[in-house]
Amino acid sequence: MVALLLVPLQAEPVAAQVGVSEAEQVLCDGSTGFNIAQIITVGLGLISMYFILKFLIRMMTGLDKAGSTDSGAQAQGKQEAKGGIYSLVAALLPVLVPVFLNTAGINVASCLFP
């Protein structure tokens, strides 16, 4: 009876490894005509560039308003500058996607550059 309960526990790592292997093959294999890993990398890079540009614009306008003599504009400028910091943090988040995939056992770094 105990053996029947323990058999599924031994089978899961093999099944998980097969799934990871298939996922890595789909990401890295060029049989579909294009490398999905490269497309994902370009997409994440574009997202990061958008947030970096947003960070620069928000920081410039926020610091400009923070230097104003009007106290209301100064408060609004500080809020915009804080929002710029949030945009910078958001620009760094797409870097975590390949790290997460590598932790899951899908090595996308090896197939980014053919």
Residue 48 CA, distance from chain mean position: 9
Please tell me the predicted confidence (pLDDT) of residue 33.
65
- What residues does each domain of the chain span? 35-114
Please tell me the predicted confidence (pLDDT) of residue 15.
47
**CB-based burial of residue 84 (10 Å sphere; 0-12 exposed, 13-18 middle, 19+ buried)?**
buried
Whole-Å CA distances, 52 to 5, 22, 62, 83, 84: 52, 34, 15, 12, 9
Please tell me the predicted confidence (pLDDT) of residue 61.
92
User: Tens-digit pLDDT profile for the chain (114 aa)?
Assistant: 555 444 454 544 444 555 656 666 666 666 666 667 777 778 888 999 999 999 999 999 998 888 888 888 889 998 998 999 999 999 988 878 777 777 777 666 666 655
